Structure 1
């Protein structure tokens, strides 16, 4: 990678981080207010949400909490359902099923355990991107991100041996994580605590365009060919979707795919049409490669249709 490209990428991500930090300070009150039922830890509610940053929004709390954006899709989904405060959202940015440290799904379930009970009708789980697979040293998300900015080798195949191998992302492995991974038997615990609940794995929205490229603004100019060799990133995302679907089938869960509902709204569409942020989208309160405000709203509406359909 030459110096000018490296400098651009570094400065772009630094500006995004600064913007996100400032926004979180300015909107801390809104985030707390928007947490709704998640802040009150109710007992035996009708709906419980578990998830990662695509569920909570990629907010950050240096004190170890899990702030959630006030327009994150579970809040809009619960509002469309008319639940009032009869729901609980334990989703947390950076969450993993397999892995130690903070923001694990095991910790989320511990936080949500009182909210689960005989009245619980639905539990949604959105996960997969933060996991490491195989012998990889990095998560799928980081593997894709670093590969996309590898302009020397391209991103058709990752040159970094620490990257996740796409073929290691399987339904069998996801099912194992949900039942006997580092977070324990998540599905078994949910079923025991909420025996009448539907459990749905929620897929990710459409993030990349249908070809094998990735776009980005360069010096303020849209560059649709920012990374023309990005087959690996596309493959990993497709395999995560396929693995989620297969894991749901293996475990007797529902799988709610967002791909069709968000098709044509990927990060490479013009501003106003895209539902996924990217480097340089400073009008959003988010990090790149995550749903916009409109994206969260669209996901909530799509999932409402799946719940009632």
Structure 2
């Protein structure tokens, strides 16, 4: 069995880069990725009949390493098969503008994000009031997604019979990750307020995060290098993050898309071809611990179900990898 320590450093660098800590010096900004469809309105949306769709968000919207990468800018690792683009191809919108960017935080909604061959302009600058739909996936990097996965992989692998990662983040008697989520809530609220100010006629949907670890059970070490105790802790942390996003969406009077529930059974512990979120060592093109093309389609289908846009989900049945 190959020890996680042998490849953890390489995986961590890839993960942290997609989570926003690998930014390079700024370069000339390039235009956001925009696609033009064949009609001028969205089907099944109770919004303005003429408009466009703007997609905002982090790597869970952008689709790092999922083919085909747009390279505009390269550091955003934005895919033509991320969930916004899959949704757009089913919607009939006349124009789609995708400014999602790997590593984005709530701050990058109103400030340039420095990435390789970037920067990516402030994402809210893509809004001009002509939008019929705006989707946004944000918050994971505000709580330190890449750092959490790397830290928990390292600590948990050293103590498989405890919950070393949980112990680390709760050492002072307070759950640091729960506190981070609480601190991120007003930042998400500010983003939603900014969207409403700039796109007052748009339907707005906050798209949550899909199932990363099994919804129940001890996990699947070493495929997912976390102890049973830490698997449970990380699972509950993701649920807490999604609950916060749902709460902020409700408070703002916008839609929330639950992508967690429809992706249960397709987590990183399932077999290649079945999993919709890749593990620390991906078996299909995607960044570590991020949705692959099937996962992006599943997120698009969940979003479409809320918006009234039919999107065919990926065909797969849950099959779990063996632990050990």
Structure 1 equivalent of residue 196 of structure 2: 191
1:55 and 2:56 matched = no
1:210 and 2:208 matched = no
Mapped to 1, the partners of 2:72 and 2:85 lie a distance apart of 23
Measured after TM superposition, the shift of residue 226 of structure 1 is 5.2
Provide the secondary structure at the position in 1 that maps to 2:76.
coil
Query: Residues 83 and 6 from structure 1, CA distance in 2 versus in 1: closer, same or farther, beyond 3 angstroms?
Result: same
Q: 2:99 aligns with which of 87, 90, 93?
A: 90
Measured after TM superposition, the shift of residue 95 of structure 1 is 0.2
Question: Which has the larger helix fraction?
Answer: 1
Structure 1 equivalent of residue 308 of structure 2: 308
Structure 1 equivalent of residue 316 of structure 2: none
Give ranges in structure 2 of 5+ residues lacking alignment.
19-29, 37-49, 310-324
Structure 1 equivalent of residue 123 of structure 2: 108
| 2:278–2:291 contact (8 Å) kept in structure 1 | yes
Structure 2 equivalent of residue 37 of structure 1: 35
Provide the secondary structure at the position in 1 that maps to 2:97.
strand
Give ranges in structure 1 of 5+ residues lacking alignment.
21-31, 39-43, 133-138, 180-184, 218-222
Q: 1:81 aligns with which of 91, 109, 113?
A: 91
Structure 2 equivalent of residue 121 of structure 1: 132
1:166 and 2:177 matched = yes
- 1:118-148 per-position Cα deviation (integer Å, ceiling 9, x unaligned): x42211110111013xxxxxx1442243113
- 1:50-95 per-position Cα deviation (integer Å, ceiling 9, x unaligned): 01001001259797753411211100100100224x1211100000
Measured after TM superposition, the shift of residue 45 of structure 1 is 3.9
Mapped to 1, the partners of 2:138 and 2:285 lie a distance apart of 21
Query: Residues 7 and 72 from structure 1, CA distance in 2 versus in 1: closer, same or farther, beyond 3 angstroms?
Result: same
Structure 1 equivalent of residue 322 of structure 2: none
- After TM superposition, the structure 1 = structure 2 runs for residues 62-77 of structure 1, keeping only pairs within 5 Å, are 65-77=75-87
Query: Residues 302 and 142 from structure 1, CA distance in 2 versus in 1: closer, same or farther, beyond 3 angstroms?
Result: same
| 2:12–2:150 contact (8 Å) kept in structure 1 | no
TM score, norm. by length of structure 2 = 0.69
Structure 1 equivalent of residue 314 of structure 2: none
Structure 2 equivalent of residue 136 of structure 1: none
| 1:158–1:232 contact (8 Å) kept in structure 2 | no
Mapped to 2, the partners of 1:62 and 1:143 lie a distance apart of 28
Query: Residues 174 and 9 from structure 1, CA distance in 2 versus in 1: closer, same or farther, beyond 3 angstroms?
Result: closer
Mapped to 1, the partners of 2:74 and 2:297 lie a distance apart of 27
TM score, norm. by length of structure 1 = 0.72
**What is the alpha-carbon root mean square deviation over aligned residues?**
3.6
Q: Figure out how many residues of one structure are paired with residues of the other and give that number.
A: 264
| 1:276–1:289 contact (8 Å) kept in structure 2 | yes
Measured after TM superposition, the shift of residue 152 of structure 1 is 3.2
Provide the secondary structure at the position in 1 that maps to 2:220.
strand
